[in-house]
Structure 1
């Protein structure tokens, strides 16, 4: 697997300006880890993270950016460590995408907006496929939107195939029922998305270093780590060393 590109992304989920984790996407079931998300970002960068996954949870629910200033500070800090940032949560318009990219964000994650394949095609043409990530999150293989509050009947894999056809390259794949549970990621769902041609990043439920390595060996493009990192079940620096030993460039 030498030379295989695999990205490990520590998650920084922001609600009301604080770093939290939700259980299965439930805003009422949150655990607060820090009042200062920027300091959290510094910790992960100092441990070797090269790409941060930042979510504006207020924005995901309200449909527009809410925690812009603190996320902007994270972007500036990460740049000082040579790290990149992808941002998701409430990004649903051309202006919103452009605004985040102007702030120095490397990629934007489009969840609710990803249902509109025609619009996604236009955004690929305008911003480039490397700057966009389709957030394909859901339950039982069906897409969930509006901060995972609304459950649709849209097949995640079928939508992934349509998005691939219009030039989308990256997908973040989250099984909402596993998110925050430490029960293991749904690698089968992520692999099904990757099989249609998208680079799939597994998210939700990753327990430890072995789960991350399993995502690598499954041929996925990356993994997002959240609760396992914050609860101390995954050592970020050690996991990065392990991935490099396995031949990943993370």
Structure 2
């Protein structure tokens, strides 16, 4: 299981939100490229980037910050937020992003996801953010009537690399990841799942590791977990977390 340190971008800075509320943003680093270098120095294997402003605008807003991160480290990067058409997907992949995350368009234009997954095998992920169990889009400002599982199943045969599942009700609150819902989703899909939202300590990673067999039962399993605020706050020691996951992988 891979740990993805998160860099959420707002106004060119590295921030964290509470339950997706742009009015509740805490700035943790004014230099996102420096933050990326810190994560690389700690041993991170991937970076998870989100253009928060872009998610609301429907187009790239923090492109300069993303490009600075790509230049600052050789770590593979997955990027989401405001990527709504094939031109944007191609542009980011050409600039060095390894995996593009499609969220709002997965609900509103699923054919684009299928087209992109065919064109770029292994480089397209679907971001599914759930609020009260229902899919939320447009930077979490709009909630649909579709469940996370219903939406994910639409892409079972599309060839997407992963489903990134975020429990909005826990995001940024340090209340623990929704292990049960994540495991249930993973066990119900052939697509691998990356967990997000609420990671607060090593215990949360241990809880996810404990359900890996259940999550793999007939499904793609849980292959990663994203953490942001807990790392910035010091509640989750990145080096210790990475060591825990390495030890698990060796078992």
State TM-score, norm by structure 1.
Answer: 0.92
Aligned to 2:156: 164
| Corresponding residue to 1:188 among 159, 180, 201 | 180
Alpha-carbon distance between aligned partners in 2 of 1:248 and 1:233, rounded to the nearest angstrom: 25
Question: What residue number does 2:238 align with?
Answer: 236
1:248, distance to aligned residue in structure 2 (A) = 5.8
| Structure 1 equivalent of residue 139 of structure 2 | 147
Distance 1:248 1:53 in 2: 24
Task: Kindly indicate whether the alpha-carbon contact (under 8 Å) linking 1:215 and 1:222 is maintained by their aligned counterparts in 2.
Answer: no
| Aligned counterpart, 1:123 | 116
Tell me which residue corresponds to 1:3: none
- Give the whole-Å Cα distance in 2 for the aligned partners of 1:187 and 1:33: 27
Q: Which secondary structure does the structure 1 equivalent of 2:156 belong to?
A: helix
CA distance in 2, matches of 1:46, 1:98: 29
Moved more, 179-188 or 116-125: 116-125
Distance 1:110 1:234 in 2: 28
Cα offset, 1:198, TM superposition: 1.5
Q: Which residue of 1 aligns with 2:196?
A: 203
1:165 Cα offset (Å): 2.5
The structure whose RCO (Cα within 8 Å, separation 6+) is larger is: 1
Work out whether residues 78 and 85 of structure 1, in 8 Å CA contact, stay in contact via their aligned partners in 2.
Answer: no
Contiguous gaps of at least 5 residues in structure 2: 213-221
- CA spacing shift, 1:248–1:162, aligned 2, 3 Å: farther
Partner of 1:36: 31
Q: CA RMSD in A?
A: 1.3
SS at match of 2:112: helix
Indicate if the aligned counterparts of 1:141 and 1:189 stay in contact, CA closer than 8 A.
no
Question: In the TM superposition, what is the alpha-carbon distance from 1:69 to its structure 2 partner?
Answer: 1.5
Secondary structure, counterpart of 1:108 in structure 2: strand
Contact kept, 8 Å, 1:61 with 1:90, in 2: the verdict is yes
Q: Select between 188-197 and 174-183 the one with higher mean Cα deviation.
A: 188-197
- Structure 1 pair 180–224 and aligned structure 2 pair: CA distance change class (3 A): same
Question: How many residues in Structure 1 have an aligned counterpart in Structure 2?
Answer: 240
Runs of 4+ in structure 1 off by over 4 angstroms are: none
Cα separation, 2, equivalents of 1:248 and 1:133: 26
Work out whether 1:50 is the aligned partner of 2:50: no
- Give distance in 1, aligned partners of 2:141 and 2:27: 20
Offset at residue 187 of structure 1 (A): 1.9
Unaligned regions of 5+ residues in structure 1, if any?
1-5
Output one character per residue of 1:176-231: Cα deviation in whole Å (capped at 9) or x when no partner: 01000001111222223212112111100001112122223322111001110010
Deviation of 1:238 after TM superposition, in Å, equals: 1.2
Q: Is the 8 A contact 1:141 1:157 kept in 2?
A: no
2:236 and 2:49 mapped to 1: Cα distance? 18
Task: Return 83-92 or 207-216, whichever deviates more.
Answer: 207-216
Q: Residue 208 of structure 2 aligns to a residue in which SS? A: helix
Q: Is 1:173–1:202's contact at 8 Å kept on the other side of the alignment?
A: yes
What SS is found at the alignment partner of 1:164? coil
